[in-house]
């Protein structure tokens, strides 16, 4: 694969997004990620999945300079690719933990909201949903994910002001769950994934919890 690497850490699968320097996102990357996630869903790792970014960024989202030059066809293709990727991420049947190692902007925030648990490193990096400032309205599936998983007050604050949060503020907003030191980030996230996966009814409870959101997402994709 060009943009994702997979390592097996015991029974947990560590997936690393790699598109230096910012791990910026585009249609081809989304398509590759969707195919990878669908493969993982067919044979879910017993210890769950941890998703992180290479280098100093989790992902800074779409490259707005590239997006600014999109034709209508480019924009349509990209929206479809984003929708499919987010749907595959949201519907992964095993535990999904995000290990946020750096800036997580725009689509990065949506990816975090798809996870079952989000661990972010302590640091100066920022987390947020500045689509309004970037001139990139939310595609339909990311909007559905926002509607289901982010508190309405914080949804308004983040989506309409483009404010960016530090790690501890992200926990207060409900977009992350805990903050750990950078040196312990991956080990802690891998442990969280294994802990979630060890629960006998985890998969069934996840299906129940996400049933309404998944039904809405599937309807948007048809």
- Domain at 140, CATH number: 3.90.226.10
pLDDT grade for 66, boundaries at 50, 70 and 90 = confident
The whole-number pLDDT of residue 65 equals 75
Overall domain count for the chain: 1
Please give the Cα distance from 116 to 114 (Å, whole number).
7
Helix (H, G, I), strand (E, B) or coil at 154: helix
Helix (H, G, I), strand (E, B) or coil at 94: coil
pLDDT grade for 203, boundaries at 50, 70 and 90 = very high
pLDDT grade for 68, boundaries at 50, 70 and 90 = confident
The whole-number pLDDT of residue 102 equals 98
The whole-number pLDDT of residue 75 equals 86
Please give the Cα distance from 131 to 3 (Å, whole number).
23
**Span 153-165, average pLDDT:** 97
pLDDT, one tens digit per residue, over 104-131 is 999 999 999 999 999 999 999 999 999 9
Which pTM does this prediction carry? Answer: 0.96
Residue 85 is part of which domain span? 4-221
The whole-number pLDDT of residue 67 equals 75
């Amino acid at each position: 694969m060009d943009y994702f690497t997979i390592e097996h850490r015991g029974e947990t699968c560590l997936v690393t997004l790699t598109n230096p320097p910012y791990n910026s996102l585009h249609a081809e990357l989304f398509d590759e990620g969707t195919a990878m996630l669908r493969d993982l869903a067919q044979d879910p790792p017993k210890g769950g999945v941890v998703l992180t970014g290479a280098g100093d960024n989790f992902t800074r989202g779409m490259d707005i300079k590239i997006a600014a030059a999109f034709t209508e066809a480019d924009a349509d293709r990209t929206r479809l690719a984003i929708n499919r990727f987010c749907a595959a991420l949201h519907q992964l049947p095993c535990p999904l933990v995000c290990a946020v190692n750096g800036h997580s902007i725009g689509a990065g925030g949506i990816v975090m909201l798809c996870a079952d648990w989000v661990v972010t490193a302590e640091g100066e990096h920022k987390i947020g949903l500045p689509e309004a400032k970037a001139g990139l309205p939310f595609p339909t599936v990311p909007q559905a994910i926002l509607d289901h998983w982010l508190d309405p007050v914080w949804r308004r604050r983040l989506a309409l002001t483009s404010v960016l949060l530090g790690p501890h503020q992200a926990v207060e907003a409900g977009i992350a769950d805990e903050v750990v030191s950078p040196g312990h980030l991956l080990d802690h996230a891998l442990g969280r994934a294994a802990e979630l996966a060890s629960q006998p009814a985890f998969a069934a409870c996840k299906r129940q919890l996400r049933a309404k959101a998944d039904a809405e997402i599937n309807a948007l994709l048809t």
